[in-house]
Structure 1
Amino acid sequence: MNGIGSYGLHRGTFRNSYFAAGIALTLLLAVTAKYLAMLPVLGIMGQLVLAILLGIGVRAAAGIPQGVMSGAGFSAKRLLRAGIILLGMRLNLGDIVQAGPKVLALAAINLVFTLFTVYGLSRWLKIDKRLGLLTACGTAICGAAAVAAIAPQIKATDNETAVGAATVAILGTVFTLVYTILYPYMGLSASGYGIFAGATLHEVAHVIAAAVPAGQQGADLAVLVKLTRVAMLVPVALILGLIESRRERRQQSLTLADGLAEHCITESGGSSDRHKLTVPWFILGFLLMSGINTLGMIPQEAAADMITLAYLLLAMAMAGLGLGIDLKTFGHMGRKPVIAGFIGSVGLSLLGFMLVHWFGLA
């Protein structure tokens, strides 16, 4: 082999080694986050949140070579979609239907209220539209997992995704602690408190942690109501994907109107992109896995293993996002989303508390 060919081979080997090292680093951070989440206090934050924070911390402490970041980026994008698909195994659509119309109405009202409130506050605070949407969806649906699922639909950047996920994670942790402290003074039954927590808290991990004082009955109801909100991720993602696709087509039409020769583009085949819809295949995969779980096509033990793998892949994705953001960027981008998310979360808690009483679920 000549010198040039040998150089190219070695360079490709090094590139592949760095790429693999990036994936391995996200795996290491994800596993570390899982074990840290078993500790009493850190358990409230959950594996996904801790994985983001570990990624941010490693980058701040040591820096990450560009080659390694390519592997981390693979985890943040590709493994993210695989994790979302497998996460569908957590949903049993039959349980959600059996929960009754009141629980479904409660979850839907809270979701719509929070989406519009947080997004409206974000626009008022002049937060970037995509970051505002991510913060709103994360607060309204299921925290970091919702942010990660919605981000590709609206073409959010890695920085926006990481900041949005970290924002709702921090707020969810704070509200979990507040709920636990206030539980004895809320005047809710164990089941009422479980429904309230499931309908208003951000992450599944937050709901589980906050529902502990209500015992097994309260915890079971809390998770059921929370998963009802998680199921609403599918229609929200589909709607946002459609809106983004229409926005892109409108922008292309305006560009053509400004002087591009549209007939030339049509003849060259370029206009076909104008009618291309964003296909959220991973969201459809999420729904498909939910259907498989609902029909009992996979044994419970295998389903549990798939859910564990889903959270591992999602944690690797969150670690990859964390590795891609520095503290200066988060400090610059994260303040206003925290304000919008906090006000929206307070409103969500108050509305959820009132609805639990109005629907006779207290």
Structure 2
Amino acid sequence: MTKQKAIGVGLTALLATIATLLAKVPGLTMVGPLILAIVIGMVVGNYTKAAQNGGEGIAFSSKILLRIGIILLGLRLNFFAIQGLGLTGFLYAIILSSIAFFTVYGLSRKLKMDPSFAVLLAGGTAICGAAAIAAIAPVVKAQEKAVALSIATIALIGTLFTLIYTGLYPLLVPEDKPYGIFAGGTLHEIAHVVGASSIGGAEAENHAIIVKMLRVMLLLPLMIFIMWWFERKKKVAQSFSFRKLPIPWFVFGFLAMSLVQTFGFLHEDAVQWLLGIAYFLLAMAMAGLGLNVKFRAFQEIGPRLFLAGLGGTIVLVLFGALLIPLLF
């Protein structure tokens, strides 16, 4: 490992450690280490010269370690554990994720945003925030600026709605199980879901996490759909074939880890340990992304991103509430 690479990797590891520790502070738990890492990275990148000699290592963290983290994140998915809500739970997740994706994408394009920005923000809103954005980014070959700004926008909107849910809990869906389903189906980050659903008790939190996992399951088909969509647009005049899709190798790794968890090939303690590594690697990747983003980038596209994300989230929340009495 070269000196420049070591400096960059070491810096992202340090920022990830700080973010992980801060995420345990009351009030910051709902934000989570991934969001904190990218925010800290942006502050350090804009106001210090710490990243000046670590470009190679920062790129390694934000690209290679990102993919390894996403692969290990597949261990969160246990296909047997989500059977409790049955077909209606899966249908709820599919409908809401589809509505969120196409609403945010449509609003983003109406606001004349670049397609890569639109897809990242739409995917983050529809599936699981920062992790989904990070997974989709290599598929659409998004620039680091687009990834960082999309994650920051999702974090801000998700945190805002988490606070609203917590404050208005008795008025939203006062029963524990429906409230948990609602929170899991409409909030972006897993940290947001846990933070907002905990006020409803153990039953609400359990159902919220299950619905959230159903949405996370949709990450793989969404990535394949996005690859097909982008490739089809590039090859309008050519014959299209699914065999020609440039599917990233980490997609198969993610699926393999999901199967490992589903069939119990690893002890639960080992799974939790590996998930801890996954989130730390993702925090390093987020710190690396943040280090390369300049605050002036927000002035160019930030307001439009926020409007698209906010509009899509409001639509998601409304449909999430309307579907509960129909499906459950």
TM-score normalised by the shorter chain: which range applies?
A: over 0.9
Which residue identity does 1:129 align to in structure 2?
A: P
One of 39, 42, 47 as aligned partner of 2:28: 42
Q: What residue number does 2:198 align with?
A: 212
Let me know the Cα RMSD of the aligned residues. 1.5
Matched residue SS, 1:42: coil
Matches within 5 A, 1:4-43: 16-43=2-29
Q: 1:69–1:323: 8 Å Cα contact kept in structure 2?
A: no
1:283 aligns with 2:269: no
Match of 1:54? 40
**Greater than 4 Å deviation, 4+ residue runs:** none
| Separation (CA, whole Å) in 2 of partners of 1:43 and 1:57 | 20
| Pairwise CA distance, 1:42 | 1.1
Q: Which residue of 1 aligns with 2:82?
A: 96
Q: Is the CA contact 1:137–1:146 (under 8 Å) kept in the aligned structure 2?
A: yes
Q: For 2:314 and 2:97, locate their aligned partners in 1 and report how far apart those are by CA, in whole Å.
A: 14
Corresponding position: 1:330 with 2:298: yes
Q: CA separation in 2, counterparts of 1:358 and 1:139?
A: 23
Q: Would you say the 8 A contact 1:80–1:313 is kept in 2?
A: yes
Letter of the 2:265 counterpart: M
C-alpha deviation, 1:193, in angstroms: 0.6
Structure 2 gaps of 5+ residues are: none
Give the aligned partner of residue 305 of structure 1: 273
Give 2:267's aligned amino acid: P
Counterpart among 49, 56, 71 of residue 63 in structure 1: 49
**Count of equivalent residues:** 324
Find the aligned partners of 1:242 and 1:281 in 2 and give their Cα distance. 16
* SS in structure 2 at match of 1:211: helix
Cα gap change, 1:187/1:297 in structure 2, threshold over 3 Å: closer, same or farther? Answer: closer
Deviation by residue 1:84-124 (Cα, 9 ceiling, x = unmatched): 00001111011223421111111100011011111000011
- State percent identity of aligned pairs: 44
**Pairing 1:177–2:145 present:** no
Which residue does 1:201 correspond to in 2? 187
Taking the aligned partners of 1:123 and 1:186, their CA distance within structure 2 comes to 31
Of the three residues 104, 121, 132, the one matched with 1:146 is 132
Per the normalisation by structure 2, the TM-score is: 0.95
- Gaps spanning 5+ residues in structure 1: where? 1-12, 254-274
Query: What's the counterpart of residue 267 of structure 1?
Result: none
Name whichever structure is richer in helix by fraction.
1
For 1:307, the aligned partner's letter is L
SS at match of 1:297: coil
Q: Counterpart in 2 of 1:268?
A: none
TM-score using structure 1 length: 0.87
Greater CA radius of gyration, 1 or 2? 1
